[in-house]
Amino acid sequence: MRNAAPGQGDTETPPPGRGSPNVQGVDQALKKRSGLSLKGRALRLLTRRDHSRVELRSKLLAHTEDEVALDLLLDDLEDTRLLSDRRFAEVVTRSKGERFGYALVARTLSRKGVSSDLAAEALAPLRVTERERALDICRRRFGQPPADLKERARQHRFLLGRGFDPGTVSWVLKQCDKEFRAAAAVPVPDPDC
């Protein structure tokens, strides 16, 4: 320790908790957080949102080398119903189904590793309501008929990008066009009459 006036080049660090950041405490907190067990990590991920088995496995695989233990943990989570591909498929279908078409939701489920049987079961209601959902999106998004072919092509691409099939998109654009033209043709009552 040097002899210097207080506050002028003092090199001694004050003890933790007395004006300086507690570096040891931060290190311990980081170790504690990163030192979670595999089950703790899995539960933390599952409390945030549902995951498919494949998705959860890929996230946890980065934290372990023992794939057998990981598979046993996933089996245990499925047995206790904390992990369910069926529930995951239903949640994804319900949350994305209002804004997106059948094809996009099906791709999402496939990418997340949901089996084709479970995906087909969860997607069945979307297939039935495909046209109504696309028509609703068209009404909300555009609100008026396309001014020219360029605008119509933009609307067509938008709906295709949302995962609706080309047949549905063509039908929806024709229906929207009819509705917009019918609404424009309705005469507004004159208040002087």
Is the CB of residue 165 less than 8 Å from the CB of residue 101?
yes
| Whole-number pLDDT of residue 28 | 44
φ, ψ (nearest 5 deg) of residue 41: -65, -45
Tens of pLDDT, residue by residue over 80-126, are 999 999 999 999 999 999 999 999 999 999 999 999 999 999 999 99
Q: 160 pLDDT exceeds 80?
A: yes
Average pLDDT of span 140-166:
91
- 13 or 178: which leads in pLDDT: 178
Distance CA 91, CA 98 (A): 12
Determine the CATH number of domain 129-184: 1.10.10
Tens of pLDDT, residue by residue over 34-68, are 578 899 999 999 999 999 999 999 999 999 889 99
Is the CB of residue 42 less than 8 Å from the CB of residue 70?
no
pLDDT bin (cut points 50, 70, 90) of residue 167 is very high
Give this prediction's pTM: 0.72
| Whole-number pLDDT of residue 27 | 37
C-alpha 40, offset from chain centre? 23
Q: 25 pLDDT exceeds 70?
A: no
The first and second tokens of residue 184, run together, are 């424009």
Q: 32 pLDDT exceeds 50?
A: no
The first and second tokens of residue 60, run together, are 């946890």
Write the CA distances from 61 to 49, 82, 101, 120, 192, integer angstroms.
18, 18, 32, 28, 75
Average pLDDT of span 184-193:
58
pLDDT bin (cut points 50, 70, 90) of residue 164 is very high
Distance CA 135, CA 148 (A): 20
Tens of pLDDT, residue by residue over 122-149, are 999 999 999 999 999 999 998 887 888 9
Average pLDDT of span 151-179:
93
| Whole-number pLDDT of residue 23 | 41
Distance CA 116, CA 106 (A): 9
Tens of pLDDT, residue by residue over 59-75, are 999 998 899 999 999 99
The first and second tokens of residue 94, run together, are 């319900």
Q: Which helix (H) or strand (E) holds 110?
A: helix 102-111
